[in-house]
Chains A and B, each alone.
Chain A
Amino acid sequence: DAKTTQPPSMDCAEGRAANLPCNHSTISGNEYVYWYRQIHSQGPQYIIHGLKNNETNEMASLIITEDRKSSTLILPHATLRDTAVYYCIVRRGANNLFFGTGTRLTVIP
């Protein structure tokens, strides 16, 4: 599986867009980019995933570069409840996900 690199922490002002980067330069053609988040003391929550095209759902947008070596998760209007650890995972499927240590996003009032 491709390895991912994320910044350990980020801050974002409440109401602003939060842009969380992820590098996955060794990604294979059949590997998806998944994003999960974990709010303190809860189980991880699925956010979004994509293969090649940009994706958007009710929670977030996922922008994948044309060469697929990096991606950005965008929370369009961050709220205090978005404070969490965000994990970027590259995998062929949802089996045996490697979470790493993620990015700790703090939304500031």
Chain B
Amino acid sequence: ETGVTQSPTHLIKTRGQQVTLRCSSQSGHNTVSWYQQALGQGPQFIFQYYREEENGRGNFPPRFSGLQFPNYSSELNVNALELDDSALYLCASMESPSGANVLTFGAGSRLTVL
């Protein structure tokens, strides 16, 4: 089975630009979550998608948005980038949103905003 893959691994943007990050879930997983990890901090939950619908959101503004596709791959979009958006963005998938399931994380996409 393949794990969670993310792309790109690194990217640099300037303030005010928009960015799209992509994620392929682990085979058999229909639920995907996105996390933001600033330097020296633990990951923070952004949102979760199940069957192409958002079903949970953390304390992030609306300029953070997402999509989940029928094949369970996912995108994270961030508009109007700010310097503080510089972080490692992690995608994680799991078999379903219920029960004591575990998350499988990708290696992340490191975004630098200049």
Chain A residues with a Cβ closer than 8 Å to the other chain, count: 22
Given A43-B90, A43-B106, A44-B105, decide whether A99 and B44 contact each other with a Cβ distance below 8 A: yes
Closest to A96 in B: B45
Minimal beta-carbon separation of A48 from chain B (angstroms): 9
**Which B residues are CB-close (under 8 A) to A42?**
107-108
Contact check, A34 vs B102: say whether CB atoms are below 8 A apart.
yes
Given A43-B108, A95-B33, decide whether A32 and B100 contact each other with a Cβ distance below 8 A: yes
**Which B residues are CB-close (under 8 A) to A101?**
41-42
Contact check, B56 vs A49: say whether CB atoms are below 8 A apart.
no
Q: Which of A80-99 contact B (CB under 8 A)?
A: 85, 87, 93-99
Minimal beta-carbon separation of B39 from chain A (angstroms): 11
Contact check, A97 vs B100: say whether CB atoms are below 8 A apart.
no
Closest to B103 in A: A94
> With A and B bound together, what is the CA distance between A26 and B97 in angstroms?
24
Given A87-B42, A99-B42, A101-B41, decide whether A44 and B100 contact each other with a Cβ distance below 8 A: no
Q: Which of B59-87 contact A (CB under 8 A)?
A: none
**Which A residues are CB-close (under 8 A) to B44?**
99
> With A and B bound together, what is the CA distance between A61 and B107 in angstroms?
25
The 9 closest A-B pairs by CB, nearest first: A99-B42, A43-B105, A46-B102, A94-B101, A96-B45, A99-B43, A44-B105, A32-B100, A43-B107
Which residues of A are in contact with B by a Cβ distance under 8 Å?
32, 34, 36, 42-46, 49, 51, 85, 87, 93-102
